[in-house]
Amino acid sequence: MAALVDQLKRLPGVELEIITTMPNRYSTFKSEALPFEQHQNVTVHRVPLPSHQSGMIDQIKAFYTYFKAAIHLTKGKQYDLVFGTSSRLFTAFLSAWVAKSKKLPLYLDVRDIFVDTIKDVLSPKIVWFMKPLLSLVEKFSFSKAEHINLVSKGFKPYFEKRYPKPSYSYFTNGIDSEFLDISESPKETKNSEAINVLYAGNIGEGQGLQTIIPDLAKIAGEKYHFKIIGDGGRKVQLEKACDGIKNIVLVPPVSRQELVDEYLAADVLFLHLNDYPAFKKVLPSKLFEYGAMGKPILAGVQGYAADFLNEHLSNCEVFTPNEAEQGFKALLALEINNTERPEFIQKFARTNIMREMSISIAATGQA
């Protein structure tokens, strides 16, 4: 969103008011930010949230705090368009609520299909109780939209069938400038016999690392060192599953700059999505920064993500999620050296994608 804001603020006549939260993703990692900022035509409000452990009750409390603050901050103000970016369904709901109450066009940027995903990641009893309510929330949110952007074309059949009224675009995630700068600089030379496999990101049910990393590390043996950086709802399970396996190390979340250094030190970058039908539609944002680093990529994904990787990324091996034996064979097939991907970088530089998306948003607000 920082890249999108940077493009939007350059458009003539655009004024932006952003209502977000203070950084809060992990209780184990704090990032400082100001609660209020104003820079020329951009105003930013950051709502402080209660600390949480990513559990459902904690997230409900956090969203309620955010919802109340957003309603208060927008009260009595005039706008031309509401834009919401939603990996969380209730962020789309909040955006639709504000748009409806103010009779404004709504532009939604959709990064996940929450109702489609819960049947795979939650217990059947919880799904039975929650899905009817969440389906109503989804219908309210997306039916109100004038335009919907889908970050994955894998989402297209789901949305166009259910919500034919909005117009659609498919601006994907992209490569941030800090990774572009790195991709154009000299790469570190490998000076160790061990092959270092790195995963950096969320450790949740969606990633399913607890189902693949322990077995993969055992099969690979001591020649391969696995490093997992991050936090999330399944970290405890992952720690237990990895207990006693000497070629795995788990590290708490790190800063953006430290993350770049970790990428440079790795020999292979690892990506995995759990073996659930909903994840056949997604396109993980992580693969864009992975692709820009010029490192071999080992990806346990299927569906649209697998097709995308096979089409756009060289020196990338895809295997069936949760299949450790197949994953090891894919690991052996990689060339352990740096791989330049200039066409990928040019096509998916975040600045280029967000420039086009900013024009689309402004056009919706002026319609």
Which residue in 293, 275, 76, 83 sits closest to 179, CA to CA? 293
Domains of the chain, by residue range, sit at 2-174+349-366, 177-347
Pairwise pLDDT comparison (87 vs 89), residue with the higher score: 89
Contacts of 317 (CB under 8 A, 6+ apart): 296, 297, 298, 299, 330, 331, 333, 334
Lowest pLDDT segment from 192-196, 282-286, 349-353: 192-196
Question: What's the pLDDT tens digit per position in 276-329?
Answer: 999 999 999 999 999 999 999 999 999 999 999 999 999 999 999 999 999 999
pTM comes to: 0.84
Question: What's the pLDDT tens digit per position in 204-263?
Answer: 999 999 999 999 999 999 999 999 999 998 999 999 999 999 999 999 999 888 999 999
pLDDT, position 185: 46
Q: Do domains 2-174+349-366 and 177-347 have the same CATH topology?
A: yes
Instruction: Supply angle C-alpha 90, 94, 95, rounded to 5.
Output: 115
Question: What's the pLDDT tens digit per position in 203-215?
Answer: 999 999 999 999 9
**pLDDT over 60 at 184, yes or no:** no
Fold of 2-174+349-366: Rossmann fold (3.40.50)
Q: How far apart are CA 235 and CA 240, in angstroms?
A: 9
Task: Decide the pairing of beta strands 42-47 and 36-39.
Answer: antiparallel
E runs forming strands in 219-331: 224-229, 248-251, 268-272, 297-300, 316-319
Instruction: Give the CATH number of domain 177-347.
Output: 3.40.50.2000
